[in-house]
Structure 1
Amino acid sequence: MRLDKYLSTYADLTRSQAKRALHAGEVTCNGEPIRNPGFKVSADDHISLDGMPLDPAGERYLMLHKAEQTVCSHVDDGHMSIFSLMEITRPDKLHVAGRLDADTTGLVLITDDGQWSHAITSPKRACQKRYRVWLAEALTEQACLQLQQGVMLHGEEHPTRPAVVEKVAESECLLTISEGKYHQVKRMMAAVGNKVVALHREQIGAIELDEELEPGEWRYLTPEEVASVEKRS
């Protein structure tokens, strides 16, 4: 593919804008400035625009350490969008596979592959999610037993699926669920007479939050992490 067409496709530039960027020396191929619009880009080439790598063709898979008071949408509705924190091309093509509330932190998976995200969010797939939960009061053994058996949430017709509960401290636990109901963890704790004061997602399926990522930071998933989510049902 010609470099000017590559820039038009993957940087959303017009041909004239692409040529101006090339003339200004803002485009590099494998670290070397390229000014020729007709330069042929191969599959192995790494193209950057003004220091920002351009994504090659194909689906993208990322993890982000969501910070508190950010939202998993493309609209800043009083809180900052997680996508505004990401220096990445075509962020509008990406979506979140399993959103978190504004006040919840932790692992968010982001992609433009609809089948892949569906394998995570579809109720039929029962993808497990592990949360670290801090509570207003001590978690009793009776409450743990109720959560492990399934609890009835307000407004629901059926109880939740059995959860895995691991107490970390008197008012802190690890909770693993295989559903994604609205505000589910908070509603589950309310159902056993407690209240969530802080919530952090640590794992989705086999993918764990990278401990080296600070809140607001992201990275591409490894091929092994991507492959851990089986797209076919």
Structure 2
Amino acid sequence: MLRLAVILLLLANAGYRAWSQGLLRPWGLAPEAQTEPQRMHQQIRPETLQILPPGPGTTAPTPTAQPVAASTASGQTPDASAECLRAGVFDEQQADALRTAAAGLPSGSWTLEPSLMPGRWMVYMGRFDDQDALDKKRTELRARKVDFDRAGGPWEPGLSLGRFSSEEAARRELQNLSSKGVRSARVIRERPESIGYTLRLPAVTDALRPQLAALRSALAGKTWRNCD
């Protein structure tokens, strides 16, 4: 019985395959054809179909106009005249003054960006007892063709024979000056390593520009520069 069932199943599959592929069409056994001619015959009175022009008050669809400029995250179109400005570097105390002065500016219009300020070393001569001693040393250095500058800050009255970003570089210069007859200079650390701050305004518009006057005193004499 099992063998007979297998034979009948094979015959049924072969018959279905022959029917589905149209091999039995001469005997009137085949699936209905779905070709375009068949569908054309299924149309009902195609000659009555008419294409009418647009009626009064109707217009052809037009593409949706795209915005000229993309909107910002706040939903406002960016100002083409806006520019990025920065000023600095400022120390911690100056940064606190800037935070207070900039509090009245629009939210998100400014940032104080921290950065590491390396220490600075100076080849230094001083302090001198009086102006005469200072002038005498200047004359001596000119005769030896050694460049110098004011030491500035707490190192006055004194002279700087060079400023360097590392102590090693400053000591090399001191050794070089010794070969020129400079004896009383020494290396000092003018400024320790610290955190500095840069004030950055990424989009200064014509509307924002007049408000920058409120920052003038807190800038401590530093000027605005372009971000790039």
TM-score after normalising by structure 1:
0.27
- Report which structure shows greater RCO (CA 8 Å, sep ≥6): 2
Tell me which structure has the larger Cα radius of gyration: 2
TM-score after normalising by structure 2:
0.27
Greater percentage in strand: 1
